[in-house]
Amino acid sequence: MSGQMKIGYYPGCALHGSSNDYEQSLRACLGVLDVQLQEVKDWICCGATAAHALNHKLSLALPARNLALAERDGHKQLFAPCPLCSMQLLKVQKAVAGGDGLRAELAQIVEADLRGDGQILNLIQVFQTIGLDKLKAAVKEPLKSFTAACYYGCLLTRPPEVVHFDDFEQPKSMEAVLAALGAKTVEWNYKTECCGAGMTMASEGTVLDLAHKILANATAHGANCVVVACPMCHVNLDMKQAAVEQRYSEKLGMVIYYLSDLVGLALGLKPEQLGIDRHFVTKAQS
């Protein structure tokens, strides 16, 4: 790779918490690709589902503070690897673009100037920005034994009027990244269905039922792994998989990778460097 790329980075709470394997993975893989992540100083939680379910104004104000901090730090591009964080940031940008005084109101609430003009990137968009041709050229270990079900979940592509990313019902962008890595992908039915997201603790049965449908469908279509770009999708499909198996008396054994895991493996990194050994379901590809 030639020339270092610097982008602003909003990790969000999950990547500094129980999904720290995701942060390890993307830092390792982007490091090889010469991408430097510049973390927004003193970022706060985006409020996640709790804020938008209980308090609309707060659900705009919390991400607005982060946008303002990123702008203050001079970031023209801001990478948010959690699709919920990313969507919340985009939602604020769309809301303040309306020109009805909301920008000034939010600036007063968050005690910082707010323009709302930066580019917000999800993980797939970071690889697109690097360039899939460059990515392909950097591959050292083509992923010939991987047959992946690409799982987008709810928020990478929805709401379409907010995120404006890929086809919101039949997305293909993750498949394009995997093709560059030499992996095969399957056509399946659940790539944009919900996994239950933040309901893991409050409504576990809902999450287990949804996760079972997703995992069973990926298996039925011949996938030997599921690939995600979201910390909550990974928690529900990987950490909760044993509970799904117990609830349905069924052995699934489906390995769940972050997209950055597979990019990293193709670039020649070891599973331990990417945090893959810290997943709950682990096995060698056959």
Partner 1 sequence: MDALREISLAEGLVAPSQKPVVAFQQAFLDNIRRNGRLAELELIAQFKTAVFFRTGRPGFLFKDAGLAPQMSKRKKLHLLPGKVRDRKVVERIFAKCSNGAQK
Q: Which positions ≥6 away from 277 have C-beta within 8 Å? A: 271
Does the protein bind partner 1 through residue 278 (CB under 8 A)? Answer: yes
Does the protein bind partner 1 through residue 10 (CB under 8 A)? Answer: no
CA dist., res. 81 & res. 191, Å (int): 18
Name the segment binding partner 1 (CB under 8 A); options: 55-63, 183-191, 219-227, 244-252. Answer: 55-63
Determine the residue type at 23. E
Burial of 277 (0-12, 13-18, 19+ CB in 10 A): exposed
Smallest separation, CB 126 to partner 1 (Å): 23
Closest to partner 1 by CB, 52 vs 158, is: 52
What are phi and psi for residue 136, nearest 5 degrees? Answer: -60, -40
Torsion of CA 254, 260, 262, 265, to 10 degrees: -130
Q: Which of 5, 44, 139, 216 binds partner 1 (CB under 8 A)?
A: 44
105's tokens: 């109101």
Smallest separation, CB 252 to partner 1 (Å): 17
Q: Which of 7, 26, 48, 214 binds partner 1 (CB under 8 A)?
A: 48
Closest to partner 1 by CB, 60 vs 183, is: 60
Closest to partner 1 by CB, 176 vs 239, is: 239
Does the protein bind partner 1 through residue 199 (CB under 8 A)? Answer: yes
CA dist., res. 242 & res. 275, Å (int): 19
Binding site for partner 1 (CB under 8 A): 13-14, 16-21, 42-45, 47-59, 61-62, 65, 108-111, 198-199, 201-203, 239, 278-280
